[in-house]
Amino acid sequence: MRRSSKIVVVSQHYAPDSSTTAIFMTSIAEHLALDFPVTVFSGWNGSAAAASEGPGRPRIVEIRNWMPAKAALVKRATAELLFSMRVFIVLLMRLRPGDVVLTVTAPFMLPYSVAAAAWLRRARSVLILHDLFPDVLVMSGLMRPRSMAAMAIHGANALMYRALSAVIVIGRDTTRLLRRYKAVTPEKICFIPNWATLPVGLRPVEPDNRFRRLCKRRFVVGLSGNLGFTHDPLVVFEAARMLREADDIGFLLSGWGTGFERLRALQAGARLPNVTLMDRVGETDLAEFLASADLWIIPYRNNAAGVSVPSRFYNLLAIGRPVAIVSEASAEAAVAIREHDIGWVVPPGDPAELAAAIRSAASPGVARAKGERAVAVAGQYSFEQAMTSYRNLVHRLLKNPA
């Protein structure tokens, strides 16, 4: 191993940001810093000031960044392009042969900049694949599959995957889609699933839970997190509409994103008595909030398998709740649900089937039994196991520089 070699982590989101990407990338950087010298290039304002310094801690370097609201698509695209260009220039200046640089798939242009800079500097590059482009844009209806833009992204991907030293997938269903690229050999693909950020342990359903009290029903169905272009809020709302006469079943919906704004609009028009909408719940209240429901829904559009993996899935298992996922049966979370009997898999765009799954879950003892199994399964997705895999991968790349 070269003494001068270091680990570089590049992420637009980093602590103290509380987004899912920031939580995972911060955890990876801090854990790798226990064994290797780690430098983080962060695009989050205040990350360097908030970080503690000293041995065994990553060194944080902020890269100037501008983050408009997600709804301002043109401004946001411009800002992300500028950030990716700045990252490319900084890496050209800072990387040395034999270094290992890790990054993630957001923003869209970032992995191309990282892979190109690492290739030019004879460093090793690793991409943590949270979203697969252009597939995620196609499935969300933002891009046609055979459009010029989609073909251009596929071409850029072919070059990027050739330059990358490793691709980390967080779902096994992504492997089939990656193998379309000749440069993605089995040796390049590493399956390292995400982990629960909450302590694993069965949380009992407490009637006096402050979030549960908002719903005022015997059986509470929850929805939480970002509802982006890959999600289908309509299937949840229509299932709630079908169950509006079921006096014992209520829906507690919290989140953000374009999909959640659509839920607000739908509820403003229909005013379903069994639907309660909430603002986003912060990390400090997350465990109590997730414990408030008997069943949780993760609603995807069609063709989500291999394109997007729900990180929230692991926290739901950790607190001991079953999951009804709306997706293809081949999706990573759907496979785990069927393998361990910890929930329901509902075909995309089928609110009647989702309503039937909810009725089944509301039968006495059914949801609790599946939730108890979910806690046992959560141990398979531990932070310790994930970090061991990251360490082993980094150690292998450092021992075999490009």
**Position 333 in a domain:** yes
Beta bridge partners of 226: 256
In a domain, 42, yes or no: yes
Please tell me whether residues 172 and 220 are part of one structural domain.
no
In this structure, the dihedral spanned by the alpha carbons of residues 19, 299, 321 and 354, taken in order and rounded to 10 degrees, is 170
Residues 177 and 79 in one domain: yes
**Cα separation, 275 vs 266, whole angstroms:** 11
Confidence at residue 70, expressed as pLDDT on a 0 to 100 scale: 65
Q: Based on the domain organization, do 234 and 329 belong to the same domain? A: yes
pLDDT of residue 216: 87
Residue 204 lies in a domain: no
- CB within 8 A of 230, min separation 6: which ones? 136, 139, 140, 300, 301, 304, 307, 308
Sign (positive/negative) of CA torsion 61, 169, 122, 37?
Answer: positive
Q: Are 393 and 124 in contact (CB under 8 A)?
A: no
365 with 390, same domain: the answer is no
In a domain, 1, yes or no: no
Q: Which of 397, 393, 180, 212 is nearest to 288 (CA)?
A: 212
Q: Would 319 be classed as within a structural domain?
A: yes
Instruction: Using alpha carbons, list the distances in angstroms from residue 160 to 78, 109, 199, 225, 275.
Output: 21, 11, 37, 31, 45
Task: Answer yes or no: is 149 within a domain.
Answer: yes
Q: How far apart are CA 128 and CA 191, in angstroms?
A: 10
pLDDT of residue 4: 64
Provide the domain limits for residue 79: 7-195+382-399
95 and 152 housed in the same domain? yes
Question: Can you read off the two tokens belonging to residue 203?
Answer: 């949380």
What does the pLDDT read at residue 312? Answer: 87
Whether residue 143 is found in the same domain as residue 131: yes
Residue 51 sits in the same domain as residue 174 = yes
Same domain for 353 and 386, yes or no, is: no
Q: Are residues 82 and 178 in the same domain?
A: yes
Q: What is the pTM of this model?
A: 0.89
- Position 116 in a domain: yes
The one-digit pLDDT tens for each residue of the chain (402 residues) are: 444 689 999 999 999 998 889 999 999 999 999 999 999 999 999 998 888 777 889 999 999 998 777 666 788 889 999 999 999 999 999 999 999 999 999 888 999 999 999 999 999 999 999 989 999 888 888 889 899 999 999 999 999 999 999 999 999 999 999 999 999 999 999 999 999 989 999 999 999 999 999 998 999 999 998 888 889 999 999 999 999 999 999 999 999 888 999 999 999 999 999 999 999 998 889 999 999 999 999 999 998 888 877 788 999 999 999 999 999 999 999 999 999 999 999 999 999 999 999 999 999 999 999 999 999 999 888 999 999 999 999 999 998 765
What total number of domains does the chain contain?
A: 2
184 and 237, same structural domain?
no
Specify the CATH number for the domain of residue 43: 3.40.50.2000
The verdict on residue 91 lying in a domain is: yes
How large is the C-alpha radius of gyration of the chain? 22
pLDDT of amino acid 27: 95
Whether residue 175 is found in the same domain as residue 256: no
pLDDT, position 89? 97
Instruction: State residue 309's pLDDT score.
Output: 74
Pair (71, 220) in one structural domain: no
Q: Which of 50, 33, 335, 287 is nearest to 175 (CA)?
A: 335
